[in-house]
Amino acid sequence: MGKYKIAWLPGDGIGVDVLEAARIVLDKLQLDATYLHGDIGWEFWRNEGDALPPRTIDLLTNVDAALFGAVTSKPAKAAAAELAPKLQNNGCTYRSPIVRMRQLFDLYVCLRPCKAYPGNGLNFKENIDLVVFRENTEDLYAGVEFSPVPKELSETLARLAKPFAPFSRLAPDEFGISCKINTRAGSQRIARAAFEFARKNHRKKVTIVHKANVVRATDGLFLEEAKAVAREFPDIAVDDANIDAMAMWLLKNPFNYDVLVAPNLYGDIISDLCAQMVGGLGFGCSGNLGSQLAVFEPSHGSAPKYAGQHKVNPIATILAVKMMLDWLGESAQAVTLEGAVAEVIREGSVRTYDMGGSHTTLDLAQAIAAKL
């Protein structure tokens, strides 16, 4: 066994291609690690009725970190239709395995750095350097959802909430309810993570992203708690913005922003926007961090149309490896790896299709490995 045990979770589609690329750079770095394969994704949903089988959960309880590619996810009905015949109608309900991993292991921080590497022709503007802190376990992703809506729930809501009156007249299968649940403790800890990061990394400002003017019970609470945490960090400037305005301001004046902190759904949306400003999904990396475990991944999905073609950009995943090295305390290797990525981008001679080239996923990984 190496010094570190890393769960290796390729998943579906291009998740497999990009993890193959990640291994090229890790092997070149000679990280003292043992990589332990974990089953996750669509195949396990179809054949076992569980996209995150118990053996993978066991594996994750026993590793220092995990590297995850991507999985294919589908809405509940479409997922149920693809179950193996022996599993049809046996009560299996599809839930995204990455969302389950985040909740099971309390990976409450989703950290998404978005940096414009010099010379990347896909940069929206040069010098963009944003960091998104997305709350990762609560909000609309809590998994408390009803469709059809049980009668008791409908009756209770009609009794407790006047605005529910028009909905209470609907038949149970004519509407759905997804609960947005945000706790004080959950809002405080993601805000604290953002401010601590800002202080440690000499960042100047944290912007709290919300929609508290309309979604008062939950976003109001998030804003209140994040502002209370901000008072513990007088050395870091703080401001806040509604999610809709934030999307507009980020495009208009990206240099007015630094660290952003948001509830789960807004954080998800805003981090794709930020990734697009620094080259697109091929450059967006992500760390799901808890107090015991961390799972690193590219922000993109399984892009089924490119599966197995070794066509997509591995840089997002290689930057996720860089984040993993930081988490493991291998900061020197993290700096070296980021330098190699930056150099290959600046030179521009090895580029995948999204960067306007025709090199393969593995060509790009090998070019980065050659700089190490």
- Which of 70, 230, 364, 365 is close enough to bind ligand NAD by CB under 6 A? 70
Residue 106: Cβ-neighbour burial (10 angstroms; 0-12, 13-18, 19+)? middle
Q: What angle do CA 101, 105, 106 make, to 5 degrees?
A: 105
Q: Which of 249, 244, 311 is nearest to 282 (CA)?
A: 311
Annotated active-site residue in 4, 12, 94, 211: 211
The phi and psi torsions of 294 (rounded to 5 degrees) equal: -140, 140
State the Cα–Cα distance between residues 32 and 34, nearest whole angstrom.
7
Asked whether position 264 contacts ligand NAD by CB under 6 A, the answer is no
Neighbours of 89 (CB within 10 A): 8
The minimum distance between CB 301 and ligand NAD, in angstroms, equals 2
Range in contact with ligand NAD (rule: CB under 6 A) among 48-56, 136-144, 302-310, 338-346: 302-310
DSSP for residue 125 = S
Comparing CB distances to ligand NAD, the nearer of 79 and 325 is: 79
- 353 annotated active-site: no
Asked whether position 181 contacts ligand NAD by CB under 6 A, the answer is no
Q: Which residue has the tokens 């759904």?
A: 265
Comparing CB distances to ligand NAD, the nearer of 120 and 187 is: 120
The minimum distance between CB 20 and ligand NAD, in angstroms, equals 13
Which residue is at the shortest CB distance from ligand NAD? 301
- Which of 226, 229, 303, 345 is close enough to bind ligand NAD by CB under 6 A? 303
Asked whether position 22 contacts ligand NAD by CB under 6 A, the answer is no
Range in contact with ligand NAD (rule: CB under 6 A) among 66-74, 128-136, 254-262, 319-327: 66-74
Q: What angle do CA 293, 300, 100 make, to 5 degrees?
A: 40
State the Cα–Cα distance between residues 157 and 115, nearest whole angstrom.
45
Report the run of H or E that residue 97 belongs to, with start and end: helix 97-104
- 244 annotated active-site: yes
Look at strands 33-37 and 4-11 and give their pairing: parallel
State the Cα–Cα distance between residues 98 and 283, nearest whole angstrom.
19
Annotated active-site residue in 4, 108, 117, 141: 141
Binding to ligand NAD (CB under 6 A) within 276-295 occurs at 281-282
- Which of 222, 260, 301, 359 is close enough to bind ligand NAD by CB under 6 A? 301
Comparing CB distances to ligand NAD, the nearer of 112 and 211 is: 112
- Roughly what angle, to the nearest 10 degrees, separates helices 14-29 and 331-347? 120
- 108 annotated active-site: no
HSE, side-chain direction, 13 A CA sphere, residue 347: 13
Asked whether position 107 contacts ligand NAD by CB under 6 A, the answer is no
- Which of 6, 198, 285, 312 is close enough to bind ligand NAD by CB under 6 A? 312
CA-only gyration radius of the chain, Å: 21
Asked whether position 43 contacts ligand NAD by CB under 6 A, the answer is no
Q: What angle do CA 183, 187, 193 make, to 5 degrees?
A: 145
- Which of 102, 300, 310, 322 is close enough to bind ligand NAD by CB under 6 A? 300
The minimum distance between CB 304 and ligand NAD, in angstroms, equals 6
Annotated active-site residue in 50, 268, 272, 326: 268
- The residues annotated with a catalytic role in the active site are 141, 211, 244, 268
Question: In the complex, which residues of this chain contact ligand NAD (CB under 6 A)?
Answer: 70-73, 98, 281-282, 297, 300-303, 305, 312-313, 316, 354
